[in-house]
Amino acid sequence: MVQSLPVRNNATPDRAEGPARLGRRRAGYAKSRATRERILAAALAEASHAGLHKASVAGIAARAGVAVGNLHYHFGSRRALLRELMGALVADLMPRLHAIDADDGADFFERQRAGLLAYLEYLRANPAHVRLADEIKLHDPALYRRAVAGWVERMAARIRAGIAQGTLRPMDESEITAQAHFLLGARHFLEQMVESGGGTWPEAVVDAYLALVRDGLALRSQGFRAERRRA
């Protein structure tokens, strides 16, 4: 564990130290952060190659170009390092999805298509992450459940926005949650395609899937709804 420096004469460390020493400390912190990020990148590379379970401290240290002691200094243990890596993997796609959801001019299906294509791009660039995501489910189920809950809520929010926009038919909260889970399942379908080597399939696959979704969720005419109620 990194210990904080003692404060002398009840002054803050910044005031107690001269500008030169303060500058050295800040440079040291920046170097420490860079080392930490390098170790995390090395852990990702090692886990992608060997899997989370077989990723060794020695292998990670060799990839990062640091001593094994540096790993323990920055993360405390192999388990803590891998847990932080898993958290980073789970959150990796979120900024892209935030950007897609921020597009107020797009309707539900446009956002869904953009989100799936962004996910395809991510999977094509990081094919090993599919296997690592499955390993997270086994190694840290609580983290995996929290991640899934966050994804479901994001999808549910997108559905609510589609209903408010008039693109989707009205639904109660229980159906919104169920539909969010179903739509999230499409990502697993895409992951399986990547894992089986179908990394060059056309965008028509996404469009075919969305045609199926559109038929099940799109706002229909009053006459069509009335006909369904009579049936």
Q: Which ranges constitute the DSSP H helices of 51-172?
A: 57-64, 68-75, 78-91, 94-101, 108-125, 128-139, 141-165
Range of the domain at 63: 13-77
What pLDDT is stored for residue 205 in this prediction? 76
Q: What is the mean pLDDT of the chain?
A: 76
Is the domain of 167 the same as that of 192?
yes
The model's pLDDT over 103-131, given as tens digits with 9 standing for 90+, comes to: 777 889 988 888 888 877 777 777 777 77
Is the domain of 148 the same as that of 53?
no
Is the domain of 61 the same as that of 121?
no
CATH number of the domain enclosing 17: 1.10.10
Is the domain of 18 the same as that of 123?
no
Residue 216 pLDDT > 70: yes
The model's pLDDT over 6-47, given as tens digits with 9 standing for 90+, comes to: 334 444 444 555 655 555 455 455 567 888 999 998 998 898
The model's pLDDT over 52-102, given as tens digits with 9 standing for 90+, comes to: 888 889 999 999 999 999 888 999 888 888 888 887 877 776 666 677 777
Give the three-state DSSP class for 218.
strand
Confidence of residue 168 (pLDDT cuts 50, 70, 90): very high
How many domains, the chain?
2
Q: Considering the domain boundaries, does residue 8 fall inside one?
A: no
What pLDDT is stored for residue 116 in this prediction? 83
**What's CA 71's distance to the chain center, in Å?**
24
